[in-house]
Amino acid sequence: MKNILVVGGAGYIGSHVVKMLAVQGYNPVVYDNLSKGHREAVQGHPFELGDLGDKARLAEVFKKYAIEAVMHFAAFIEVGESVQDPSKYYHNNVAKVLNLLDAMHENAVHYFVFSSTAATFGEPVHPKIDENHPQKPINPYGNTKLMVEKILEDFDTAYGLKSVALRYFNASGADDSGEIGESHTPETHLIPLVLQAAAGKRPCIRVFGTDYPTPDGTCVRDYVHVNDLARAHILALEKMAQENQSLRYNLGSGNGQSVAELIAQAKEVTGVDFKVEYKGRRAGDPAVLVADSAKAARELGWKPQYDLKQIIQTAWNWEQHRRY
């Protein structure tokens, strides 16, 4: 199996997976409508401009490259926007994925790697979230991802389409080369927002909530480097194909870092004492979200290689020399 269609491969996580696939001897083909992605992130790999809503275009690409497996990274991901405009999210994150799965079925492609999310779990009921944790999303974004997971189960039963759903926590960092990195418009992720404050691109970083039941009162999250995630995608693809079975994994470092700890680490890495403003809590922010990735370690041999300092260092290098 060599020819991998990477849908959303011009985006943040997708572009890092594309680069690693090529390094490991695969032939990644990027399919992206560039509504969120960046042409520069494709870095010379085969690129096909197209939308998942265009069935004819999908069929053309499947035949042109003799696609053998698909990876999906083409979701809208902003939780707040999903609450304000759920229709946009259900159309893009669910209906268009059905188009893709139908195209796979029609072209006898049986392996699918799905970029899912910890948002499918909702409010945590255990200190660390493993694959058996109840899935009760609290926003439309999480609902869309869980719906696709359910659809994939039905496609496996009915059509034999095997899938991996990778539920990752806070994707972060950038490639060590500095050639690709995180670039969202608008930016909503904490590490790039913090580093933009350090770079003088924002007047300050705002911290929402200092009275959570955590050691320093700020939210605790699990940050995992984008290259660690990319490696997990390839390991999971290979295991799924070797065993011809559907799989589900939670991906995180297993170590929670508070917002205050992250800011302190960012100040150390950048050498900038940027301004921090403290605000009240935001609705829907759990105090602690940390992954239990023991299953991925056990079954895939996957273990994150980047710690928080290295994550911030790679992201800072990208922020200072970003190319798009």
pLDDT for 1 beyond 90: no
Q: Which sign, positive or negative, has the C-alpha torsion 309, 313, 316, 322?
A: negative
d(CA 157, CA 105): 13
Catalytic residues: 141
Rounded to an integer, the average pLDDT of 171-180 is: 97
Q: Which residues, at least 6 apart from 38, have a Cβ–Cβ distance to it below 8 Å?
A: 10, 11, 15, 183, 324
Average pLDDT over residues 131-140: 96
Is the CB of residue 104 less than 8 Å from the CB of residue 112? yes
- Banded pLDDT at 77 (limits 50, 70, 90): very high
Residue 42 has pLDDT above 80, yes or no: yes
Q: Average of pLDDT values for 238-255?
A: 97
Average pLDDT over residues 254-276: 97
DSSP letters along 86-125, please? HHHHHIIIIIHHHHHHHHHHHTT--EEEEEEEGGGS-S-S
**Paired tokens of 207:** 């911290």
Query: What pLDDT is attached to residue 284?
Result: 77
Give the span between the Cα atoms of 69 and 102, in whole angstroms: 13
Q: Name the band, by pLDDT with cuts 50, 70 and 90, for residue 283.
A: confident
Beta strands in the chain (DSSP E): 3-7, 27-32, 47-49, 69-72, 111-117, 162-168, 170-172, 205-208, 220-225, 247-251, 256-258, 276-279, 288-289
Average pLDDT over residues 75-90: 95
Phi, psi of 222 (to 5 degrees): -110, 110
* Over residues 57-74, mean pLDDT: 97
3-state secondary structure of 224: strand
- Over range 7-27, report the average pLDDT: 98
The whole-number average pLDDT for the span 102-130 is: 95
pLDDT in tens, 152-173: 999 999 999 999 999 999 999 9
- Place 11 in a pLDDT band, splitting at 50, 70 and 90: very high
Q: How far apart are CA 183 and CA 319, in angstroms?
A: 9
pLDDT above 80 for 56? yes
> In a 3-state reduction of DSSP, which class is residue 28?
strand
Q: Let me know: does 88 contact 46? Beta carbons within 8 Å.
A: no
Looking at the predicted structure, is the pLDDT value of residue 61 above 90? yes
Tell me the pLDDT band of 12, cut-offs 50, 70 and 90: very high
Residue 127: pLDDT above 90? Answer: no
Instruction: Sketch out the chain's domains with CATH numbers.
Output: 3-172+223-251 (3.40.50.720), 190-222+254-320 (3.90.25.10)
Dump pLDDT digits (tens) for 230-244.
999 999 999 999 999
3-state DSSP helix/strand/coil % of the chain, to nearest 5: 40, 20, 40
